[in-house]
Homo-oligomer: A and B are copies of this chain.
Amino acid sequence: MATFNESAAGVYLITVTPFASDGALDLDSTDRMVDSYLERGVDGLTILGIMGEATKLTADESRRFAQRVIDRVDGRVPVIVGASAPGFAPMRELTAAVMDMGASGVMVAPAPNLRTDDQIVAYFDMVAETLGPDVPWVLQDHPVSTGVQMSTGVILKIIGNSPTCVMLKHEDSPGLAKLSAIRAASARGDVRRVAILAGNGGGLFLPEELTRGADGAMTGFAYPEMMVGVCRAHAAGDIEAAHDIFDAYLPLARYEQQTNIGLAVRKHIMADRGMIASATVRRPGPALSASDIADIARLTRRQERRLAELGRPS
């Protein structure tokens, strides 16, 4: 198992879950997808998240998919598994299973009904107790999907209460101010420094988030080379180059962020690039129209042209 702790950085790619055109789990495509991500230089994988259609899998399918990914990665990078669940018994069971398989950690978002600061802090105290002292975990802050808003103070308290919380997946919006405030708190020594990976709007604010102190990205855009390129340019101190790369991919990344059809767009591009065999999304889920596909084709052509102008292969 690859090490996963507070010093994690770079691009943790949120994977899709590949299905065959009949809707069956496609494990061959799983291998191909993992290879294609690793070849493009990602630093970790996150599986069984919302964009991984986790809730549409049976318990058995979840485990077979996780096992396949972990086996294929074979310890080269950490594999993080989404473990959010409405109850702690299934959270504990899934966590134990994937850690046994060789996962490096899990990711947990707040339950959707939480509202007050006290409720949220108490919830994550129970999460930490459920996961136990040996499982490093990622705190996922994603109000758009959960409806739960965590203030900076709440996040600092959760980090303070749970030594095994090693990373924040930052997806709140407006989130730049929160990101700055968390970094300031650890700079002052108020709280342990944890890794922060950015995912706001599917990566649509990545250059700004890196400037505010994010250690990288955790998102799933169909062109991982965008996130890898932006993070590397930023790490090398070339902020303008980071923006250049980002801007070249932005029109298509924006198109992939449409609510609901976004996952279908992502899988269409991935199938087109040969990363998976079929763009199938399990029901209930979106399908693309001919017009959508024409839009993607135009944006892809324009993206290739722009990348060529920048002297980057596409």
Contact = CB atoms under 8 A, between A and B. Distances in A.
Interface in A139-174: 148-151, 153-154, 173-174
A258 interface: yes
A146 B104 CA distance: 35
A149 to B, nearest CB: 4
Contacts of A255: 205, 208
Interface stretch (A31-39, A49-57, A214-222, A270-278): A49-57
B59 A260 contact: no
A284 to B, nearest CB: 6
Contacts of A87: 53, 55-57, 282
This chain's copy number in the assembly: 4
A56 to B, nearest CB: 3
A252 to B, nearest CB: 10
B89 A259 contact: no
Interface in A248-262: 250-251, 254-255, 258-261
24 contacts: A56-B86, A56-B89, A57-B87, A58-B90, A59-B90, A87-B282, A88-B284, A89-B282, A111-B284, A115-B148, A116-B154, A118-B151, A173-B258, A174-B258, A176-B291, A177-B261, A177-B292, A204-B254, A205-B254, A208-B255, A211-B295, A239-B298, A250-B251, A250-B254
- The 3 A-B residue pairs with the shortest CB-CB distance, nearest first, are A56-B87, A55-B86, A115-B149
